[in-house]
Amino acid sequence: MTDYLHLNRAQWDERAPAHAASPGYSRQRFLDDPAFLSDVVRFDLPRLGDIRGLRAVHLQCHIGTDTLSLHRLGAAVTGLDFSGASLAEARALAAATGAEVGYVEADVYDAPKVLEPGAFDLVYTGIGALCWLPDVRRWAGVVAALLKPGGRLFIREGHPMLWAVDETRPDGLLAIDQAYFERDEPLVWDEDGTYVETDTVFQNTTTHQWNHGLGEIVTAVMDAGLDLTMLREHDSAPWDALPGRTTADEHGEHRLTDRPWRLPQTYTLQARKR
């Protein structure tokens, strides 16, 4: 199982510079506008609420655009990621904008070893994080270990039903072809591209991923000692998850062009540590 870390880290290390250079991550807008927030964080502002003065940690922060957005909303935030190349981009962005954001390089499962346990008011996780982890219950234990009593978990993530859909079908049908529930065996992908606009052709193409059913995620969080306070499913995603079958709105949220109410694409979950 340790092989998945090496494979996945290699692909994130290679893609980090391309992601930072892509218009999809809006790096230049962060530089030009001190009030600019990432699309992912802006979408959830009504649910995130006032986080000024909170001590926060952003798990699996990648190149730090959501992390910087949390900082701009007033949180004292630390970003954690296992990709050194991703963190190099995150640190460069923070430095270029004058933001005091700390970054720590570590596997998410090791977060309680490298960060202060029980010290955080907010644990934040964004889009496309849980699918890289083989064990959602272990992840929930990490969240609980980091939060102080009364502290809050906030996550917006791709919906496990979306991850189970075959996005390659040419007939446009929504067919469930991948695992919905967590399995020991990873989903093995071999792709030389990435999810943002880039001309780069990558050499590290193999990744291991896992799906986790929504009930599995909720149960893991509750069993770890957190009480669920919000679970909202959304018919949109901040990227084109089903190319050729979605339409983007003015905020960059993509919905099915044909009857978008058929498929949940993302969800927002909040829970508070007992």
Check whether 197 has a pLDDT greater than 80. Answer: no
- At residue 22, the pLDDT reads 87
User: Bridge partners of 187?
Assistant: 209
Check whether 196 has a pLDDT greater than 90. Answer: no
> Do the beta carbons of residue 152 and residue 272 sit within 8 Å?
yes
d(CA 204, CA 19): 15
The per-residue pLDDT for range 221-266, each reduced to its tens digit, is 999 999 999 999 999 999 999 989 999 999 999 999 999 999 999 9
Q: Are strands 254-256 and 206-209 parallel, antiparallel or unpaired?
A: unpaired
More confident of the two residues 239 and 203: 239
pLDDT bracket for residue 2 (50, 70, 90):
low
In the three-class reduction of DSSP (H, G, I as helix; E, B as strand; rest coil), residue 211 is classed as coil
- At residue 192, the pLDDT reads 76
Nearest partner of 186 among 204, 210, 202, judged by Cα: 210
- Four-point Cα dihedral 262, 248, 40, 86, nearest 10: 110
The per-residue pLDDT for range 56-77, each reduced to its tens digit, is 999 999 999 999 999 999 999 9
d(CA 179, CA 211): 7
Percent of the chain at pLDDT exceeding 90: 85
pLDDT bracket for residue 190 (50, 70, 90):
confident
d(CA 164, CA 256): 16
Q: What is the mean pLDDT of residues 154-181?
A: 94
- At residue 193, the pLDDT reads 65
Check whether 1 has a pLDDT greater than 60. Answer: no
- At residue 51, the pLDDT reads 98
d(CA 243, CA 31): 30
- At residue 171, the pLDDT reads 86
d(CA 187, CA 220): 21
- At residue 138, the pLDDT reads 98
The per-residue pLDDT for range 80-139, each reduced to its tens digit, is 999 999 999 999 999 999 999 999 999 999 999 999 999 999 999 999 999 999 999 999
Nearest partner of 115 among 135, 142, 137, judged by Cα: 142
- At residue 146, the pLDDT reads 98
Q: What is the mean pLDDT of residues 148-175?
A: 94
Residue-averaged pLDDT of the chain: 94
More confident of the two residues 206 and 195: 206
